[in-house]
Structures are given as C-alpha cells and as structure tokens.
Chain A
Amino acid sequence: MRLRAAVSAALASAGILLVGWQSGAHVANTGSTAATTSATTSNGTTSGAAAGGGTKSGSSGSSSSSGSSSSTGSSGSAGAAAQAAGTYAGSVVQTRFGAVQVQITVKAGAITDVTALQLTDEDRKSVQISNRAAPLLRAEVIKAQSAQVQTIGGATVTSDAYLSSLQGALDAANL
C-alpha cells in the first residue's frame, strides 16, 4: 500500500512537472514542491527514487498536454485512498481570463496548500485575474454629460422626486 502510494505520488509529481515544464516560468517552483511532497509521502528510503524519477521525467518531457496531468492526479488519489497525501493537479478550467489550473498539496487527508500551475491567457502573457475595485479619482472614471446619455442610473428615485430628477427631465424631452 505504501509502495503504491509512493508510485502514485511519483506519477503525480511527474505529471505536475510536465505541466510545469510546459508553462515555463513555473518549472522551478513546481519541481521543488513535487520533490518535497514525494519525500513526505513515502517516509524514507523510497523518497529519493520517487523525487528523482519525477525530476527525470520532468526534464525529458516537453510535449505532454495539460489534460493528462489531471488524470494522473486522480489515479494517485484513488490509489492512496483515505490516507491520501501528495500533490494533485486539477484539470484545466477555461475562464473568461484564459486557462487556469491549480495544484493542491494533501497531508494526512487535509489540503495544506493550493498553488496555481497555470494563470495565463492564450498568448501566454500573464493577465490580471482579479477585478477588485480600487480607489479612483473622479477625473479617472468614464465621464458622461447629461446631453449624451440615454438613461440615468441612481439609487431608487421616489415618484415624488422623479419630476425634479435627471431621468424625469430626460423622459420629458423624449415624450
């Protein structure tokens, strides 16, 4: 069982490395994560072999597709069953920002780390995933003059306030 887990982890590591190789910049980080995790999983003598195998596959493989790594990850988790430990790459998910793939590190059945394997768009340029709101000067927002707009948005206008509102004026002009 332990050997099987180690082999699974090695396979998973190899898959992860392939993805890392493919996405270029992440190779160094991913490699070290995989090696560390393999050592943790197999607890001793087999750790060197597992990590070494992973590294070798990683350096030789350059044409593997991202999809294959995800299936390797799941077979690893099935083999290790309840005491699942190691790193697993998720499948590549297409978002409006491009392809995204994450890797989880599991120790003693709990997720201890989540890292991004792939955060790139089709042009392989990094993109801003977050669209969080940030302070903006009034001069920096999209400007609009009353004469240019076709409708007016605002916090709910009561029937009484409508007549003196900008929307009221706009509607009156279009009656």
Chain B
Amino acid sequence: MQRTSKLITAESPARSAPALKSRTFQCMGTVISLALPTATGGAADGGQVLEGATAAVERVFAGLDAMFSLYRPDSEASRMARSEVTLRDASAAFRARFEDATGWRLLTEGFFTPERPDGVLDLSGIIKGYAIDQAATALESVGVEDWCLNAGGDVLVSGSPAPGTGSPWLAGIVDPHDRGALLSGFPLGGTSRFAALATSGSAERGDHIWKAGMGRTEFRRSEFRQVSVAATDIVTADVLATAVVAGGRRMLDWATDSWDVEVLAVLGNGELIATSGFRA
C-alpha cells in the first residue's frame, strides 16, 4: 500500500500523459486491448496483475465467441443457423442473449434487430458489448479498479488512468474520412458521468449494418457515416450506436430523448451532428 501511494504521488504531475501498460489479444474478428496504469497494475509485480487481468478478459471473450460466432461451424449460433437446433433447445445462456436482443429491438422500434435480412439469427450485434460488460465483472473480481478496455473501437473504462486523481480517461474518436486522424475526444470514467463509448458505421467493414431491420429492410445507405454513443454502460452505447446508423435522424432523436447518452454523428458529407456533451 505504501509503495502504491508513493507511485500515485509521482504520477500526478504527468496527468496529461499517464503511463499505461497494455496487452492485446484477438477475438471476434478484431483486437481487444486492455490498458492499466503502470502505478496500480501495469508494472506492479512485474506486470503480473496486467497478465492476470488480460487472461480473465480473454476467457470471457473466448467463451462467448465459441458460443455465438457464425464463423465457427461448431458454435451454437452456427448450428442454429443450419436449423440443427431451435431456440427451444438452445442453452439458457443463448436464450438469455436472444432475450436481450429482442428486448432492444422493441426499445429501438426495430432499428436494432438480431436477425439478418436473410432470416438468420445473428446475435453478434449484442455479443461484443455483452462480452465487454462481462469482462468488466471479471476485472472487478480479480481486484483491478483502474482499467481501459477497447474491443475493436468500443471502449469501457473504470477508474482513472492516474489512479486516485479522478481524472477521466480520454478517448479519441477516429475521423471516418481520415482514419489516421482524430475527429474528437470524449472523457470516460473518473469524474465523467459516462464510462462507455461505442461507435458504429460503415468506415471499417462496409455497410455492415442492415438498414431498418427485417420487414422494412433495404440496403439503402445510412445517412450517417459514423455514430458514436457515450453511455453509462457499454451495451446501451453499442446497441444505440448501431440503431442510430440504421434508423437515421429519427432514431437519433429517439435515443437522445429516451436514454442518458451523448451522441456524435458524422454525416456522409463529413458534417457533424452532436449533443451538447460533445461540445468543447
């Protein structure tokens, strides 16, 4: 304890650029990275805290990917896509995520949907957010308090990059028209009300969001090139970012009216629409 508090004191003057240690692993078609402040975990015990924490997070992601990936022929999701099993025979965990997803479909008036236009059940839209959420529980249980978890551009944080100071983590948001530049930043954790930031769009994976869901689906282009949503939890941020890209301005207004969120949307021509929380 004594040693830790000394390190915090030493850390304070360098608040603008806190020293972090990070570890990465691949899962769900992307790279997940976990960063810890060197003061409380990154360097403590020769980095063993960080190694242990990363292993805990990786177990969560790997377990969910094994069950829900449509890229794994042996996953429960793939067997369901091939109609080898029905929802009635599905595991309790699978049905629980299905319930989450259908609940979100109701809350977003169908703009978030767990079904592909071809009718295949695809829960991947909710699984990454859920995995991040469960990883947070795993990190809590191994006793890590200050961390930043980034799963392919979706971010959840806890505590502060400079432990004990209350200063938030600063997340940059990529400019979809110039992937090497930052469009904006947003404070997460620390004294900020929000801990989660999720971004959806067509910048990295093409038009991977189905417009307006089943029934009224058509592959029209979204009016938004990229939508970032800050929320208190990552599943809400993730689902709403997806729904706003799919539902356009109407869903954007519904999201800001109905949830405690901040939104930054980039239009196709590069213009921005944002809630007041993104104003400098």
- Kindly list chain A residues whose C-beta atoms are within 8 Å of the C-beta of B24: 171
Contact between B30 and A162, CB atoms less than 8 A apart: yes
Interface hit among A12-20, A33-41, A43-51, A143-151:
A143-151
Bitwise, B166-198 to A at CB < 8 A (1) or not (0) is 000111111010011011111100000000011
Evaluate whether A153 and B33 lie within 8 angstroms (CB atoms) in the complex, with A144-B182, A146-B172 already known.
no
What is the bound-complex CA distance between A123 and B183, given in angstroms? 36
- Interface residues contributed by chain A, number (CB under 8 Å): 41
Contact of A131 among B18, B154, B174, B256 (CB under 8 A): B256
**Contacts known (A131-B256, A153-B155); A159 close to B172, Cβ less than 8 A:** no
Contacts of A158 in B (CB 8 A): 29-30, 152, 204-205
Beta-carbon contacts under 8 Å, A117-160 to B: 128, 130-138, 140-159
Q: Does B153 contact A (CB under 8 A)?
A: yes
A130 to B256, CA, bound (A): 8
B189, closest chain A residue (CB): A150
Interface residues on B, range: 35 or more
A174 within 8 A of B: yes
Q: Which residues of B contact A152 (CB under 8 A)?
A: 150, 153, 171-174, 182
The reply on B57 being an interface residue by CB < 8 A is: no
Proximity bits, B253-277, A CB within 8 Å = 1, else 0: 1001100101111000001111111
Residues in A with CB closer than 8 Å to B275 are 131-134
CA distance A138 to B274 in the complex (A): 10
> In the complex, are the beta carbons of B172 and A166 less than 8 A apart?
yes
- Given A153-B199, A154-B204 in contact, is the A148-B17 Cβ separation under 8 Å? yes
- Is B26 an interface position by the 8 A CB rule? yes
Give the interface of A toward B (CB within 8 A).
Answer: 96, 128, 130-138, 140-159, 161-162, 165-168, 170-171, 174-175
Known pairs A144-B173, A151-B148, A162-B152 / 17 extra A-B pairs, C-beta < 8 Å: A144-B170, A148-B16, A149-B172, A150-B20, A151-B171, A155-B226, A156-B208, A158-B152, A159-B29, A167-B153, A171-B33, A171-B35, A174-B22, A174-B35, A175-B21, A175-B22, A175-B23
- Ordered by A's residue number, 26 sampled pairs between the chains whose C-beta atoms are within 8 Å are A130-B256, A131-B275, A131-B276, A134-B275, A136-B279, A141-B183, A141-B272, A141-B274, A142-B186, A143-B182, A143-B185, A144-B172, A144-B184, A149-B172, A150-B148, A152-B171, A152-B182, A154-B226, A155-B203, A156-B29, A156-B30, A156-B152, A156-B204, A171-B22, A171-B24, A174-B21
Residues of B in contact with A (beta carbons under 8 Å apart): 16-18, 20-24, 26, 29-31, 33, 35, 42, 128, 148, 150, 152-155, 157, 161, 169-174, 176, 179-180, 182-187, 197-205, 208, 226, 228, 252-253, 256-257, 260, 262-265, 271-280
